[in-house]
Amino acid sequence: MQTKPYRIGTRGSPLALAQAYETRDRLVAAHGLPEDMFEIVVLSTKGDRITDRALAAIGGKGLFTEEIEAQLSSGALDFAVHSSKDMPTALPEGLTLSTFLPRADPRDAFIGRTAERLIDLPKGAVVGSASLRRQALIRRLRPDIEVVIFRGSVQTRLDKLADGAVDGTFLAYAGLTRLGLQQKATEILDAETFIPAPAQGAICIEQRIGDDRIAALLAPINDRDTSDAVACERGFLAALDGSCRTPIAGHATIDGGTIRFSGMILSPDGREAHDINVEGERSDAADLGRAAGEELRGRAGAHFFEDWS
């Protein structure tokens, strides 16, 4: 019988904490345990500490997970809570993403200062984004717009926007909603034309492989629809690159036993893009996504990926 609190690793941003507390609350409800049986352990990551450069320039997605995963691997943590879209496709040996909470709205939100919609911004407007995917999609839709790197927590970016640093910025609508800031969105982009990041809106839980005690604890809060959709999207990433150096978009939906997937790869300037729409059995989710990625890789040709290095 567990007598010590379960230790939950997380980053310290308000959004990361909201996700950790949501996980704790679901576990409390699922098992009838008191809140004090769960301890939220906040860890600083390199990705949090370095905010003046693009992720691609300092190492990519793993910068948000390295310190947490080291503690998880050592046994200092029982499990860790992450934003699924921040997770590299290759995890450290001995760790796995075992559990996914029900997915929130995966779409992107535009927060405009000088216009409510991206399409209505004046020519030459400046939009801030840290995401290469969003940057490429913005340039594809509005090549006249200047796109600048815009990093920091949700509130930091909203404050910079309010101070006039840019004319608009993009954030995940799920993140805004989890922070009670959904009213800040001036436009919610259509997921079919402005395809989200793979796994956007999904909270995942990482644990040690073979830790049956933690697997049993987490199993009741796993959402199978989210798990299958994310497996497809991460399969797509794995077939391509999946780091923060690549403009990749991918979104899967579940309908009964069927999974439908839309994916896109773009050149960083948004001028060239290749997309794909496929469907199949949800039991083949990861393979479906991987095959879609391999097809786009072949269709684009080797020259397309030279800009990604």
Q: What is the CATH number of the domain that holds 29?
A: 3.40.190.10
pLDDT tier at 291 (50, 70, 90 boundaries)?
Answer: very high
State the Cα–Cα distance between residues 175 and 182, nearest whole angstrom: 8
Q: Which pTM was predicted?
A: 0.91
126/265 same-domain check: no
What is the average pLDDT score of the chain? 91
pLDDT tier at 181 (50, 70, 90 boundaries)?
Answer: very high
pLDDT at residue number 244: 53
171/302 same-domain check: no
Q: Mean pLDDT across the stretch 248-276?
A: 96
pLDDT at residue number 56: 52
81/230 same-domain check: no
pLDDT digits (tens, 9 = 90+) for 20-44: 999 999 999 999 999 999 999 999 7
Domain presence at residue 48: yes
247/286 same-domain check: yes
Q: Mean pLDDT across the stretch 160-178?
A: 95
213/241 same-domain check: no
Domain presence at residue 172: yes
Active site residues: 86
77/12 same-domain check: yes
Percent of the residues in the chain that have a pLDDT greater than 90, as a whole number: 82
Above 50 in pLDDT, residue 58?
A: no
21/92 same-domain check: yes
Domain presence at residue 62: yes
Domain count across the chain: 3
Contact between 206 and 91 (Cβ < 8 Å): yes
Residues 176-215 as b/e (b if ≥16 CB within 10 A, e otherwise) read bbbbebeebbbbebebeebbbbbbbbbbbbbbbeebeebb
Q: Classify strands 146-148 and 126-128 as parallel, antiparallel or unpaired.
A: parallel
Domain presence at residue 193: no
pLDDT at residue number 33: 96
Domain that holds residue 173: 108-188
Domain presence at residue 286: yes
State the Cα–Cα distance between residues 188 and 293, nearest whole angstrom: 26
Of the candidates 118, 173, 177, the one whose C-alpha atom is nearest the C-alpha of residue 147 is 118
Cα angle value 247/201/126 (rounded, 5°): 50
Above 90 in pLDDT, residue 63?
A: no
pLDDT digits (tens, 9 = 90+) for 224-250: 999 999 999 999 999 997 555 679 999
pLDDT tier at 192 (50, 70, 90 boundaries)?
Answer: very high
Which backbone phi and psi does 188 adopt, to 5 degrees?
-110, 120
233/212 same-domain check: no
pLDDT at residue number 301: 87
pLDDT tier at 303 (50, 70, 90 boundaries)?
Answer: confident
